[in-house]
Amino acid sequence: MIKTGLKIEELKSVNDLISLKGKTAFITGASGGIGRASACILAQAGANICITDLPQQQQALDEIADYLSSAFGVKTMTTALDLTDEEGIVDMIGKVAEEMGTIDIVHSNAGISSPEDNADMSMEFWHKIVATNLTSNLLVSRESAKIMRKDGHGGSIILTSSMSGYIVNRRPPGQHHIVGYCTVKAGVRQMAKGMAMDFLGDNIRVNSISPGYVLSGLHASWSDELMDYVTSNIPMGRFSDLNEIMGPILFLASDMSSYCTGTDIVIDGGFTVW
């Protein structure tokens, strides 16, 4: 057994470790802030990009794809689908692999939240948030892993969990606390760990990220009072911006993280420390 480390001249360059040139990345929920940022950083690293979101987001997807191909010279593809449709996901993943050649990287990022989310939520909403935020991650990951396994090159699967999978987001006195979102995001993180162990033999790594409050457009309708209240509970005293989400995504997608599987990266400005 080798018991010594590499000599300094044998260490790889950071450019080689982080490069995704020649690989194909598939990102769901790509019209939103985190998905858009993910597609951008992976394209900058050289990956060809396929992005998807709901059918009503087709124009936004086309604009993102056009920008990525123009700015970074990568091949792009868009597809639109409701990710609660199992048969549709199976068909979509097959078409992506056929058109793009294969799938090497997946960022399963699609998700929803709603003011309806509280302990008195309707069963209709409960089933919707479970299907969209949890089951879709299983389906996208499972079908993409089949492609990686068939093509024999392994890959990296990244799931978007949330700091809400660790804690219950604080709300001002008298307001409801979210229940479904916290539940399913905890499930996403555990799902990543379980799939990581199941896919070890296929050289497929599965990890997750858990962002905190990110300025991504979702909070545009929030009052100044609510923004101030939430910010006061963040140890760093501010929301993150999308630039601060891109680094962990690129790390997990690239060979920089080749010894990481089943791990979760929390990006929350210290929120979950307390």
**Residues annotated catalytic, as ranges:** 162, 181, 185
In the numeric block, which tokens belong to residue 63?
């604009």
Q: Are 136 and 55 in contact (CB under 8 A)?
A: no
Q: Are 158 and 107 in contact (CB under 8 A)?
A: yes
The H or E element that residue 271 is part of is none
HSE (side-chain half, CA atoms, 13 Å) at 182 = 13
Q: 239: Cβ–Cβ under 8 A, 6 or more apart, which residues?
A: 213, 214, 215, 219, 230, 231, 269
How far apart are alpha carbons 149 and 152 in whole angstroms?
Answer: 5
H helices within 45-175, ranges in order?
58-72, 86-100, 123-130, 136-151
Measured CA distances, 232 to 96, 163, 181, 242 (Å): 43, 16, 22, 20
For residues 237, 239, 243 and 245, what is the CA-based torsion angle, rounded to 10 degrees?
100
Q: 237: Cβ–Cβ under 8 A, 6 or more apart, which residues?
A: 231, 269
